[in-house]
Amino acid sequence: MNANRFRIIGRQQLMGSSMPPAVMGLIWANLVLFSIMAAWGAAAGMGMSPLLNPDTNLLLHMGAQFWPAVLNAGQWWRCITYAFVHGGLIHLGFNMLVLYQVGPMLERELGWRPFLFLYLFATLTATGLGYLWEPGVPVVGASGAIFGLFGFAISFYHRIGTSIAFARRNFLLQWALIALVFGFLVGADNAGHLGGLIGGAVLGWVTPIYFSGLHRLRPLFAVLGWASLAVMVLAHLAMVASWFF
């Protein structure tokens, strides 16, 4: 059999067990921004409350999504930075745990550039559906992007069709159900969850499942990956600039 026809699944077995760079970078970015938010709140006299229940104004200051600010004040960066802001340690801890559990599987399968593009794409589709549902409600959290990982994995591994692929599909489906139940319990943005899930599923349905197809698209994935990284960095720089200007 032609090696180029081997399915992508199993590629991660050859790439070691260390935490891949995109997932590690995303986790650290979330942790650092949460620490900055907690420090900013403490300096503003809020005490320890930002650790468990940050004030809405503090969340907006740190980049929460708020569509009136996006549309009326041109704060486009909120469409991205909201996914790095969390409403307390429990919210942050749960999302980072899920990202830590499911992210490496997909990043090792695809590479960091396609993975980063998937994460950003799901971030945008999540907030896009949120706009159609409740545009006047501030939104924070990485769960929309994480649901994008769920959606991608479910459709991608389903298309591969092997027993290992079905096992991974089912594993991610279980995580999606757990996260969905958790979202209902805490009153999370379930419209955003659905938007991320749909966005990820669409990408999972069109991404090549063979090495040969992935190889042909490697230049495109390289551009999309670096562009995604640049957009994320620029969004956060724009947010920081808004603090002073």
**Is the per-residue pLDDT at 3 higher than 70?**
no
Q: Are 108 and 11 in contact (CB under 8 A)?
A: yes
- Report the distance separating Cα 85 and Cα 145, nearest Å: 12
Task: Determine the pLDDT at residue 64.
Answer: 96
**Is the per-residue pLDDT at 148 higher than 70?**
yes
Residue % of the chain over a pLDDT of 90: 63
Q: What is the DSSP string of the chain?
A: --GGGSBSTTGGGGS-SSPPHHHHHHHHHHHHHHHHHHHHHHHTT-TTHHHHS--HHHHHHTT-B-HHHHHHH--TTHHHHGGG--SSHHHHHHHHHHHHHHHHHHHHHH-HHHHHHHHHHHHHHHHHHHHHH-TTS-B--SHHHHHHHHHHHHHHHHHH-SHHHHHHHHHHHHHHHHHHHHHHHHT--HHHHHHHHHHHHHHHHHS--BHHHHHHTHHHHHHHHHHHHHHHHHHHHHHHHHHH-
> pLDDT-derived band of residue 35, with 50, 70 and 90 as boundaries?
very high
What distance lies between CA 142 and its chain's CA centroid? Answer: 5
Given the residues 193, 212, 228, 242, select the one marked as catalytic: 193
Assigned fold of 19-244: Rhomboid-like fold (1.20.1540)
Where is pLDDT greater, at 216 or 87? 87
Given the residues 86, 143, 155, 228, select the one marked as catalytic: 143
pLDDT tens track for 168-222: 899 888 888 887 777 777 666 678 889 999 999 999 999 988 766 777 888 999 9
Where is pLDDT greater, at 199 or 14? 199
pLDDT tens track for 89-135: 999 998 999 899 889 989 998 899 999 999 999 999 999 998 888 88
Give Cβ neighbours of residue 198 (< 8 Å, ≥ 6 apart): 125, 129, 151
Where is pLDDT greater, at 4 or 130? 130
Task: Determine the pLDDT at residue 17.
Answer: 58
Q: Is 17 a catalytic residue?
A: no
Task: Determine the pLDDT at residue 212.
Answer: 67
The pLDDT mean for the chain works out to 88
Q: Is 143 a catalytic residue?
A: yes
Task: Determine the pLDDT at residue 45.
Answer: 85
Task: Determine the pLDDT at residue 151.
Answer: 95
**Is the per-residue pLDDT at 50 higher than 70?**
yes
Q: Are 83 and 235 in contact (CB under 8 A)?
A: no
Task: Determine the pLDDT at residue 189.
Answer: 66
Task: Determine the pLDDT at residue 201.
Answer: 95
> pLDDT-derived band of residue 12, with 50, 70 and 90 as boundaries?
very low
Task: Determine the pLDDT at residue 213.
Answer: 73
Task: Determine the pLDDT at residue 9.
Answer: 52
